[in-house]
Amino acid sequence: MNTLMQSVIFEGIGIHSGKKVKMVVGPSREEGISFELNQQDVLVELSAIGINHIRSTTLTNGSITIQTPEHFLAACYALELNHISVQLDSEELPILDGSSIDFINKLNPHLKKINSKDKEKLTICTDVEFKISNSHYFVFPSDKLKISVFLSYPDHWIKSMKFYYEHSKEAFIQSIASARTYGFTHEIEALKAQGLAKGGSLDNALIVSDDGYLNDPRYEDELARHKILDFIGDMSICGKEACGHFVLIRPSHLGNCELLKKLI
C-alpha cells in the first residue's frame, strides 16, 4: 500500500454547484480514506454510501454528504493509495477535467510505500447476477479484476459501445484515467432544474448532442471507458481489492453501489 509524502492540493469547479472548490489530500496515521468537512469526518466505507445517486455517488455520515468522490477514489484504487485524509471546503470534490487523470498526475509523484497488512480481497467465488432499474450485472470468478462494459442507446446515434479491461496501475493510467464523464444535451436542462450540473461544461465533460459530440472525444469508446472508471471508484468504497470478472450492462452509480452491497 501507499500513502503520501506530503499534502497535495486540488482546486476546481464543483460540477453540481458550479462554484470553486478546494481539496487537500494528505497522509494519515489511520488506515483507509476519510473526508473532512466542517470538522466532521466521512469515512470511505460501505455503510457511508448515500441514497442520492443522480449522476454521481455520495458518501455520508448522517450529517453531511460528500458528492462526486468516484473519480478521485478510482485514482486512489489504481495507485493503491491508503492512509490519507482529504480536507474539503465544500460538499463536493472538484470535477477537474471530468476524469481521473489530474488526480493521477498530481498524486503519483508523491507516493510513499508503507508497511501495512495486505489489503483484504473481495473475491468472487460463484456466479452472480444482479439487476436494478435499467442496469444489469453479471459477475464471475477470476484471479484478477476484469471488467467488460456494454452500453446501449438504441434510439440514439451512439447505438451501442463496449470495452474490455484488465486492471493494473499501468492499464488504468493508459486506457481509463483520461476518460471523461459525459452527458447528453437533452438531459442538461433537466439536471439543472434539479440543481445539478451547474458547473458542467465542455472543459469537464464530453457532451453528446443529437447529431454528434460537441467537443472532441479522447477515445472512440470514451463513454464505455468512463463507465469502467466510475465502476472502479464505486467498488473501491468497500476498501477491498476486487478479484472477479464483472460484466456491466448499462451500469449506473446506483447499480454499482447496490451490487457492492449485495457482494459484501
Q: Which of 160, 153, 135, 148 is nearest to 257 (CA)?
A: 135
> Which three cell numbers, joined as nine digits, stand for 229?
472508471
State which H helix or E strand residue 74 sits in: helix 70-79
Identify each DSSP E strand in 61-144 by its residue range: 65-67, 84-88, 111-113, 121-123, 128-132, 135-140
Q: Which of the following is catalytic: 71, 83, 167, 253?
A: 253
> Which three cell numbers, joined as nine digits, stand for 62?
448522517
Q: Give the C-alpha separation, 5 to 46, whole Å.
A: 27
* 253 annotated active-site: yes
Q: Which of 108, 50, 54, 82 is nearest to 240 (CA)?
A: 82
Q: Give the C-alpha separation, 220 to 199, whole Å.
A: 25
CA dihedral 234, 20, 197, 85 (to 10 degrees): 10
Catalytically annotated residues = 253
